[in-house]
Structure 1
Amino acid sequence: MELLVRRIAENKVAFVHQGVGGGTVTSPIWATRTKTRGMVLDLIRAARAISRVELVGATGLTAPTISEVVRELMVDGLVVEAGLGASTGGKRPMLVQLNPSARYSVGVQLERNTCVIVVVDLAGRQIARMSFSGVSSMPPERGLSSVATQVNALLDTAAVDRDKVLGVGLVSYGPQDRQAGVLLTPQPTEEWFGYPIADRLAESLGLPVLLDNDAAAAAIGEYWMGAVEPRSAYGCIYMATGIGGGVVIAGEVYRGSSSNGVEIGHISIDVNGDECPCGNRGCLENYAGPAAVVRQALTTPGLGQRLALDPAGDDFLTEFARLAAAANAGDPAARGLVERSARYLGYAAVTMATLFDLDTVVLAGPSFAVAGSIYQSVIQEEVDRRTFARRAHPVRVVPSVSGSDAAAIGGAVLVLQSELTLGRGRPTDSAQPLSPEGEAADATAV
């Protein structure tokens, strides 16, 4: 635990001791008071249970400062005492831990053919889940109304106090304008392009809504759930109907200039390939994505009929799951297609690892749920053989701890992170949208 806390603190304490221009702040509190609260709360979360003395050592703050911050967190109900820790030669210290039931958040994964909703507590534990057919056939007004109805029903079923719900993390494919809360793609239909989905859902629910990329959400969820080493640089390949990517460095998502980076599904693997709707040519998604693999199966003699694939269908998640199950069961044609898809994804993983010098690549999303072992094995083989820095350090390929719900859980985690960043509870105006940094639009420092 001490190593975990120290490594998290090393990555977070710097901003406490630096001013805006990088100069030293003689009193680390309280030009960044809310960030200090957030850092302490994050350390408590990561450690599960920790003493005030350990918090002093991890942050470099004074004992009175830590005592005051912990007291505030306890008054807010975010932290509770957890009994006495082990003695190090003197009096046994009192431990503190998160109060999981103090706050909740909701994650909504909006896919073309399915929608997944989860409710998690402050510790990130999933306490309720539901899924239903996607909203691709609906106009945005009706689709979002359906989502809002299901969110309300799930909160009621879980008996969650609405006053404790911090907000909703709405995650979907890109490109997006996270600041405006809109999708910049005519998918699933033209009506969704530029529609203010975050604002409209916030109005329907009376809760803040934060829009984000599904792959980025899945990536940060791994950090929150403790599945990766806190100081690591790791990537996430997210595969649902399409293919996306995310990179997290020391607990922070790589955003780029508009938060539309690491879209590995749209890197070109054939400069002379067919044009993709994104505008590029020969995109990875059109060779290795579930829709592409299903189409390949339909043109493989006998395979489509054997697996009862629907040539006119558009529910590629269901069709791909059937194909993946056949590959697992030993069908040679099905396995050959899945392994070819995995090989292409291996090339993409090598590209991602080389660009960002990653030490881990996480495989997340519903399309890895059935044939994940095949993908993991093949991608690991490519990474071991081809990564530029392989002689400096290994790159592990691992499955997501959140499985097929990684994006929805990650969306809820992004909202929880806003609590850690701000060090505050739910905004006074419950329908006020969250900014991409997690702050309410007019939030002020505590």
Structure 2
Amino acid sequence: MNHYFTAILFTFLGSVFVLADDTRVPRRQPAIPTEINLATNGNTALGSDPLIQYLVNQTNLDSLTRHINILSGEDSVTINGSTYLILSRYAFHPHNDLAADYIFQILNSYGLPTYNQPYDSSGRNVYSVQMGTDYPEEIFIIGAHYDDKPAQPPAPGADDNASGVAMVLEAARILSQIPTPYTVIYALWDEEEIGPRGSAYYAQQAYFAGEDILGVLVLDVLGWDSNNDGLFEIHTRPIANSVELADLIYYLEDEYNLGLLPVIFNPGYASSDLPAFWSWGYTAVLNMQAGHSGDYNPFNHTSNDKISHFNLTYYYALSKLAVATISHLSFYNINIIVNLENEHNLLTADFVLKQNYPNPFNSTTTIEFNLPHPAYTSLKIYNTLGQDVSTLIAENLPAGNNICRWDAQELPGGIYFYRLETKGFTRVKKMLLIK
């Protein structure tokens, strides 16, 4: 049981925020473009941070699809002065190098220091570094693999994984315009389809170099939603702060009102580029479409993996979530921040019991509530038979916002109820444990 009763308050743009723990906040306020008020006018989710909302609003679908069309061979592109049509990004096809050159060219155009990282005769990672202003040694990574299948051209690989590459490039375009307290690395790895090789080399080199990587957001196969339900998966495991990062993504989707339905897999599948970072003890999560939840893209790894099969509304929302996540991390680390000067005000004269997040959840979830005054408080979990299966809190608590994490690893999947009770107030909410 982890519950935090001490909140840190600080002022940002005239608003008060609460952090879920005592991790450091930037020593100075970030420089925010003056047009932020126009950009967020009438378009800000309740409780959302105005800076993050501004950055999310910069996400451009035309920019995203332009990258996908070029990487998947729909459109030609000029690379180093010559015009090409990229027919394949398979590891051993010569056009995979063209894709890497294109990625390098785009990242470099944003004014970011950009690097090639060759690791064998065929493999090459490409990445850019945006140095943090306050904590330059502390790093967050947003990354995706750029190689694809099948081995024989054409191999467009629009969903797998031009979709993830385009999100990384779009995040770099947006965030490179503004200083960030933490260092951000935009990484595109090679040879995931025959490995993962590129990300494994990258993570190994980072580990032995002593790099302080605080979190990695891996993006893979993000364009397919055949039934338009908005479902997507966040894969995590109890390694470093991976579970907390997954919870943060779940929270941000709701906070910025993106219309998606996140499901957390814990323990998540050791797929894509996740194992490369988990094996060295790094915090890492994977955002992907609902392939393990019954909505797998049948065109992946075929010559018909094209953008024409995308659900672009779904893809655009996931792209905004990727921007929201890396933006939040680059300013606030893995902290949940709640705006206290709006309708979600938690320091009011009212009791508040919020819906747990994530929900549905796999093994762990977070319950948040507010007390208007100090009181003896009970927070218990019940199964559908009305049996008390866990007592999370039974003690005197101070007034204010309280956060409690419940670990249900030993319990079977199903519906559970959590009941908050204190003098003059009782509230019950439902949650779903998936196993």
TM-score by length of 1: 0.28
Q: Which has the higher strand share?
A: 2
Say which structure is richer in helix.
Answer: 1
